[in-house]
Amino acid sequence: MEPLENDRFLRALLREPVDRTPVWMMRQAGRYLPEYRATRERAGSFMALCKSPELACEVTLQPLERFPLDAAILFSDILTIPDAMGLGLYFAEGEGPRFERPLRTAAEIDRLGVPDPEQELGYVIDAVRTIRRELRGRVPLIGFSGSPWTLSTYMVEGGSSKEYAHVKGMMFDRPELMHKLLDTIARSVTSYLNAQIAAGAQAVMIFDTWGGILTPRDYREFSLRYMEQIVAGLTREAEGRKVPVILFTKGGGGWLEAMADTGCDALGVDWTLDLGDARRRVGDRVALQGNMDPAVLYASPERIRQEVVTILDSYGKGSGHVFNLGHGIHQHVDPEHAAAFVEAVHELSVPYHD
Amino acid sequence: MEPLENDRFLRALLREPVDRTPVWMMRQAGRYLPEYRATRERAGSFMALCKSPELACEVTLQPLERFPLDAAILFSDILTIPDAMGLGLYFAEGEGPRFERPLRTAAEIDRLGVPDPEQELGYVIDAVRTIRRELRGRVPLIGFSGSPWTLSTYMVEGGSSKEYAHVKGMMFDRPELMHKLLDTIARSVTSYLNAQIAAGAQAVMIFDTWGGILTPRDYREFSLRYMEQIVAGLTREAEGRKVPVILFTKGGGGWLEAMADTGCDALGVDWTLDLGDARRRVGDRVALQGNMDPAVLYASPERIRQEVVTILDSYGKGSGHVFNLGHGIHQHVDPEHAAAFVEAVHELSVPYHD
């Protein structure tokens, strides 16, 4: 592997000194980019795009051609694991992800196996290898997975949900069954992320998109606990460097302290928290990644720069901050505004690192 | 007006001693009840139901016939005010509320007037009078409104939204215009709620459904500030009793202290907070209303009772707690489970009030 030209992102995650604040954007390879829409069109379907290592590599690199981002993130979907478990993932036009065979019974959950990442998920691991090669050491590559709780919501509901009737019904009435399911998913995520690391991912992120719909007690018992299990099972060093782990629970601002105690290296933070408050709460236990409201990118470039300063000021001096949006970039954002954002972070963050 | 037979709800909101914890459910008059669906069918449309004082009264009283609830809440919609302002509210089948004429320009916002509640919103005020008469003093009647910020999201977007591109774009790039709009809405809400109080509402609640999508700074400036303006302008006594004011920001758990400082009497709390923590944070400044995860009602009656005890224990002894769900009751809940919930609160809360 070629040596890293820009390791600002990895250094900030480990709270080591950097020359400026690194920046990337969740969903930076996505629908707001016309070149992404063209590749997606060529692939024929979203899943065909995910399942082709060459096309996944192509869209992963697209935003790096436009913006001087400090990290690339594997283009994939969080639902690859349940698909590999045999649930039959498909995307109904305009309706989001669906599973042909949602999990409702103990027998269905008992039958679930842990997928072999090099077999059933080989297309993802191949994509990681392809992207690492094509990146040629420019910036680090982030691997990722959904959290066990988040994956379980789709697996039990059979798709997206507003009320979570089935999965919460199972959690409240059959907690032992829910734990069995979550343990199987956690073991699958661990093996999946370790395969991504072995194939070249230099940091990994766990997306707990739906942890924020739980009570504090249920979050600890049904979401955080399994992310902690994963963190404990991950390969933490590769190619002679540490492999940082980032946890992100959307809407999890109330639980930062507990998240920081899992042994991870960094926490993703959404925009409903003041970043300075978040830093005071976690102290020097973890780095923080975030947290600009993605809707700021609808505003003028001047207003975007102003918001970048507000967030840099809120975090304050010193390393340990990876600039990002508090959630994925919206599909109707003008790419020029994304460019203004990335440039503002690099230009305006220098004084925070002297 | 006939004297109140059961004033437990009003007493708890003012932190006065009660014999047991009062309970009601957000959206208690709603689609989970077959008798509601029958009346809604008879009305022809949701708006026809809202606009008929007799039918609105009928559905308001339906849950009280089934369950020994401690309060009734006016059946209406938060979007009556923008409709009265001339935006043209309609409901597209299966797509939620829409406005024919969303607000996008300064000229459109300049033209907005404050509706006269007895004229353009007379059907709501008549519904309050009808319900008070038909309640015959059984329990208090709650009036309500959406918060200015929440109403502005629908008025600027033209309906429900996921990304809030237009309203947040306006907030970031044209804050003076946004403030003008919010001030007009706040004056309208104040006059609307005062008319509800004059017509017989014995407590009022402000629903800030979308305050939780803001940063802490934007929440204070664009949502909380206008709720504070409303609280300062409300009639706080009627028929020789105090009229308590409840504020509820969904996802606003990080901001309870600031909300408690607005001069309101109580805060609605969703289930992402531990109620005991919330009580410690607000001290004796306000009462708390909440906060069971509505999805618990999918679980067995035994599990529901167990969760009721957990929440009663979390709040602890003494008055100042109105039991409720942390959000509206879901439409697929079995009414028998709602009955088990209400019964559990009454039966199991007695020891917390000795």
- The tens digit of pLDDT for each residue in B60-87 reads 999 999 999 999 999 999 999 999 999 9
CB contact under 8 A, A332 and B163: yes
The answer to whether the Cβ–Cβ distance between A307 and B172 falls below 8 Å is yes
Residue of B161, B172, B313 for testing the chain A interface, max A β-carbons within 10 Å: B172
**Which amino acid is residue B349, in one-letter code?**
S
**pLDDT for res B354:** 85
Single out the residue of B161, B140, B200, B144 nearest to residue B26, CA to CA.
B144
Of B212, B273, B298, the CB nearest to A272: B212
Q: How far is CA B349 from CA B15, B266, B311, in A?
A: 15, 19, 10
Interface contact A172-B299, CB threshold 8 A: yes
- Report d(CA B287, CA B269) in Å as an integer: 10
> What is this model's ipTM?
0.95
Q: What share of chain A is helix, strand, coil (3-state, %, to 5)?
A: 50, 15, 35
**Beta-carbon separation of A169 and B295 below 8 A:** yes
Indicate left, alpha or beta for B196 from its phi (over 0: left) and psi (-120 to 50: alpha): alpha
User: Are B210 and B225 spatial neighbours (Cβ–Cβ below 8 Å)?
Assistant: no
Interface test with B, best of A153, A215, A300, A311 (most B CBs within 10 A): A215
CA–CA gap between residue A118 and residue A233 (Å, rounded): 18
Residue type, B124: V
Spell A273-286 as b/e; 16+ CB within 10 A means b: bbbeebbeebeebb
Q: What is the pLDDT of residues B283-332, one digit of tens each?
A: 999 999 999 999 999 999 999 999 999 999 999 999 999 999 999 999 99
Instruction: Return the beta strands (E) in chain B as ranges.
Output: 72-73, 89-92, 96-99, 141-146, 203-208, 237-238, 241-242, 245-249, 266-268, 287-292, 321-325
Catalytic center residues of B: 27, 31, 40, 77, 154
d(CA B178, CA B167) in angstroms, rounded, equals: 8
C-alpha triplet A285, A187, A130: angle, nearest 5° = 85
Residues of B in contact with A216 (CB under 8 A): 272-274, 277
Answer whether B210's CB lies under 8 Å from B150's CB: yes
In this prediction, residue A91 carries a pLDDT of 87
Angle (CA) A301 A304 A308, round 5°:
140
Choose the catalytic residue: A8, A40, A132, A138: A40
What does the alpha-carbon distance between residue A100 and residue A86 come to, in Å, rounded to a whole number? Answer: 9
pLDDT at position A118: 97
Query: Could you give the CA distance from residue A50 to residue A121 in angstroms, rounded to a whole number?
Result: 11
> Do A273 and B217 make contact, defined as CB atoms within 8 angstroms?
no
Distance CA B148, CA B167 (A): 12
Tell me whether residues B300 and A173 touch, CB distance under 8 A.
yes
- The stretches in chain B having pLDDT less than 70 are 1
Give the amino acid at B192. Answer: Y
Q: Determine whether A36 is an active site residue.
A: no
Helix H or strand E segment including A276: helix A275-282
pLDDT score, position A122 = 98
Distances (CA, A) of A195 to A35, A129, A198, B231: 29, 11, 5, 57
pLDDT at B95: 78
Cα A345 from Cα A311, distance rounded (Å) = 10
Q: Cis before residue B291, ω within 30 degrees of 0? A: yes
- For chain B, list residues whose CB is within 8 angstroms of any CB belonging to chain A: 163-165, 168-169, 172-173, 212-218, 251, 253-254, 271-274, 277, 293-296, 298-300, 303, 307, 310, 330, 332
Residue B223 has a pLDDT of: 98
Instruction: Provide the pLDDT for residue B352.
Output: 98
Q: Are A56 and A77 in contact (CB under 8 A)?
A: no
> Which two three-digit tokens encode residue B210?
């979308």
Q: In a structure prediction context, what are the per-residue pLDDT tens digits for chain A, which is 354 residues long?
A: 678 999 999 999 999 999 999 999 999 999 999 999 999 999 999 999 999 999 999 999 999 999 999 999 999 999 999 999 999 999 887 778 999 999 999 999 999 999 999 999 999 999 999 999 999 999 999 999 999 999 999 999 999 999 999 999 999 999 999 999 999 999 999 999 999 999 999 999 999 999 999 999 999 999 999 999 999 999 999 999 999 999 999 999 999 999 999 999 999 999 999 999 999 999 999 999 999 999 999 999 999 999 999 999 999 999 999 999 999 999 999 999 999 999 999 999 999 998
The count of C-alpha atoms lying within 13 angstroms of the C-alpha of A66, restricted to the half-sphere facing its C-beta, is: 24
Backbone angles phi, psi at A308, to 5 degrees: -60, -45
> Looking at CA atoms only, how far is residue A157 from chain B in angstroms?
13
